[in-house]
Structure 1
Amino acid sequence: MKAAPGIRAVAVYNEMLRRHPELSEGIRRTLERRIRSWRAVHGEAQEVIFRQTHEPGRLGLSDFTDASGLGVTIAGQPLDHLFYHFRLVWSGFEHAHVILGGESLVALAEGLQNALWSVGGTPLYHRSDSLSAAFRNLDADAKVDLTHRYDQLCSHYRMTPTRNNKGVAHENGSIESSHGHLKNAVHDALLMRGTKEFDDLGSYRAFVDEIVSRRNAAHGKRIDAERSHLQALPERRTTDFEEIVVTVSRTGGFTLRKVFYTVPSRLIGHRLRVRLFDDRLDVFVGGTHLMTLRRGRGHPDGRHDQVVNYHHVIHSLRKKPMALRGLVYRDKLFPRPEYRKAFEALIEHLPDKQACKITVELLALAHDRGCERELAKELARTLDAGDLPDLAAMRTLFGPDPAKLPTVHVQLASLNGYEALIGTGEAA
């Protein structure tokens, strides 16, 4: 016990039974009591937790907590996510933000700024967990850069950054204990809602915001009292994204953080400026904003992912429909499951070339006529009836063939007629 103060009582118990098989297994509780008594008299000093008194407007805490166990689904797909959680220690004001990736400075910056602008001020100090997860797998220079950017974020809001000692969870106790209460509140609200399914991420975020607002309402008077002690907000937010320059390749897209993104083919060869947020990418050419893309995530096993928009590639694919057969991102190309099921049915009953041709033309029809959802419903009805999609029938159903539209001749009126009207108006 003196040589190994940290040894567990159960380990001593197992070793005693091994050395003395004649001993009864019932001695375990007695042994544990005696070891506990011995440590009370002869054991080493233990760490003491010093409870603190808190002042209004002094300290805000940030942390991340895993929320995947809530079982939320978006459009039928499980949502692997975290909550960024902010709390003012004195009043109990809190803010939660749904994070799709892991712990990162981008996620912290977005969540923290949302929280500060929501409460209407900034505390003197901001404490985090040192972004330990974000530092993982970074080299020394990258860690220094990340630390510098975090310090700049706090400086913009005139907060002094402080950090927990590594591995000492109780130093963030004012928010660690609140994680469980927050997730329990969300879980209960999901049960009362009757379903954990949401149409989109925005709906789920609004749901979480409403729950947090209710929790804050319970501390309304104390939160209002602390607001008068907070520092004023700056004139504007600071950056909550990373900016990266990428080049669009001949494949009609670019790869960023193990994810391939398609863009319109006219951008092939161009250098794009990408602002990388937690849940999206804002794409610029020069100073012009081109588009916003959903952010993808590489797979845990190291495989790359793809974020594909069929509108970006359909013109080229129509010229090479057989490329669909072995396309790396084929499953991501289909905008809805019905299109994938139609392709699978066609490839099963028709030659590959014909199946690919029909599938590509169906995608082109959805693109040209703006009928993606309606066409998907019609494909579902066709497949449920045991039939294969009829391209000609679909084209007829979703609008006339442009080649068969009548030619309309418009005869322009003489300008003299307009002059006469003007003259008549002046005379009147």
Structure 2
Amino acid sequence: MRELDVAKLPEYVEEDVRVSEWSTVRVKHCAYSVPSRLKGKWVRVRIFEDKIEVRFADVIELACERLIGRNLCRIDYRHVIWSLIRKPGGFARYVYREEMFPSLVFREAYDGIQVLQAGTKGDLEYLRILHLAASTMEADVAVALSLLQMAGKAITSDAVKEMIASSSTSIDVPQLVSPAVRLSEYDALLTEVAA
């Protein structure tokens, strides 16, 4: 008997993919969003068994878990909000619209906004809130939305901004005082070790 020829399996497969006008790339029949500044550019995608890496100019722009299946999507609202805010009329028909709700609080806020301002005006108001979440802290925006909903107040981007600004100024950072360093204590330790 002779030894089997065992070739090492490749760790990943690379594909060159063009970023679409919607700031997405299609990899193995699934859509992934990338930063909007890459629209129209060619990126190199490394497809591992359990993850993908999207690289542009040898810099990793996206690293995420690989979707297994067909016609699935992984859209990060932070990647596409910058272009959606400029064209709010397209939000109602946006292909990945359901991905623009990071949590249930955001979905409930959108529904509440649509009750008061239906159509494009309501979409624009929600997109402003989502833009605020992308440019600040999503968790702070979610808390502000929850508080506005519990208080029964109208949800607007200005009200959310105001709540975030007031909560960030109320945090008092304690002043730390550095203790005085007495080097004689260290000298005493050194003399004990030397003895």
TM-score, length-scaled by structure 1: 0.35
In structure 2, how many angstroms separate the alpha carbons of the residues matched to 1:297 and 1:322?
32
- Say if 2:144 and 2:164, in contact at 8 Å, map to a contact too: no
**1:353 matched to which residue of 2?**
120
Q: Give the secondary-structure state (helix, strand or coil) at the position aligned to 1:398.
A: helix
In structure 2, how many angstroms separate the alpha carbons of the residues matched to 1:311 and 1:285?
18
Query: Which AA in structure 2 matches 1:322?
Result: G
**2:89 matched to which residue of 1?**
322
Say whether residues 1:383 and 2:141 are aligned partners. no
In structure 2, how many angstroms separate the alpha carbons of the residues matched to 1:278 and 1:337?
31
Say whether residues 1:363 and 2:134 are aligned partners. no
In structure 2, how many angstroms separate the alpha carbons of the residues matched to 1:260 and 1:272?
14
Say whether residues 1:339 and 2:106 are aligned partners. yes
**1:15 matched to which residue of 2?**
none
- Say if 1:371 and 1:398, in contact at 8 Å, map to a contact too: no
In structure 1, how many angstroms separate the alpha carbons of the residues matched to 2:67 and 2:72?
7
**2:161 matched to which residue of 1?**
395
Offset, 1:360 = 0.2
Say whether residues 1:289 and 2:60 are aligned partners. yes
Equivalenced residue count is 164
Gaps of 5+ in 1: 1-123, 126-147, 155-238, 401-428
In structure 2, how many angstroms separate the alpha carbons of the residues matched to 1:308 and 1:289?
17
Q: Deviations over 1:296-343 (max 9, x none)?
A: 2435xxxx2221111111111111112111211111122222112211
- Say if 1:258 and 1:297, in contact at 8 Å, map to a contact too: no
**1:242 matched to which residue of 2?**
13
Query: Which AA in structure 1 matches 2:84?
Result: L
Q: Give the secondary-structure state (helix, strand or coil) at the position aligned to 1:153.
A: coil
Alignment of 1:1-20 (within 5 A): none
Q: Give the secondary-structure state (helix, strand or coil) at the position aligned to 1:291.
A: strand
Higher relative contact order (CA 8 A, sep 6+): 2
Gaps of 5+ in 2: 167-195
- Say if 1:295 and 1:307, in contact at 8 Å, map to a contact too: no
**1:204 matched to which residue of 2?**
none
Alignment of 1:63-212 (within 5 A): 151-153=6-8
Q: Give the secondary-structure state (helix, strand or coil) at the position aligned to 2:37.
A: helix
Q: What is the RMSD of the two structures over their aligned residues, measured on CA atoms?
A: 2.4
In structure 2, how many angstroms separate the alpha carbons of the residues matched to 1:338 and 1:279?
30
Query: Which AA in structure 2 matches 1:254?
Result: V
Larger radius of gyration: 1
In structure 1, how many angstroms separate the alpha carbons of the residues matched to 2:51 and 2:64?
6
Change over 3 Å in CA distance of 1:246–1:360 after alignment to 2: same
Change over 3 Å in CA distance of 1:385–1:311 after alignment to 2: same
Change over 3 Å in CA distance of 1:374–1:278 after alignment to 2: farther
Q: Give the secondary-structure state (helix, strand or coil) at the position aligned to 1:254.
A: strand
In structure 1, how many angstroms separate the alpha carbons of the residues matched to 2:148 and 2:81?
23
Change over 3 Å in CA distance of 1:254–1:387 after alignment to 2: same
Say whether residues 1:309 and 2:164 are aligned partners. no
Offset, 1:385 = 4.1
**1:262 matched to which residue of 2?**
33
Say whether residues 1:253 and 2:108 are aligned partners. no
In structure 2, how many angstroms separate the alpha carbons of the residues matched to 1:298 and 1:340?
26
Change over 3 Å in CA distance of 1:282–1:398 after alignment to 2: same
Q: Deviations over 1:366-388 (max 9, x none)?
A: 122x2201211221232344443
In structure 1, how many angstroms separate the alpha carbons of the residues matched to 2:7 and 2:41?
32
Query: Which AA in structure 2 matches 1:252?
Result: S
Change over 3 Å in CA distance of 1:383–1:289 after alignment to 2: same
Q: Which runs of 4+ in 1 moved over 3 A?
A: 384-388
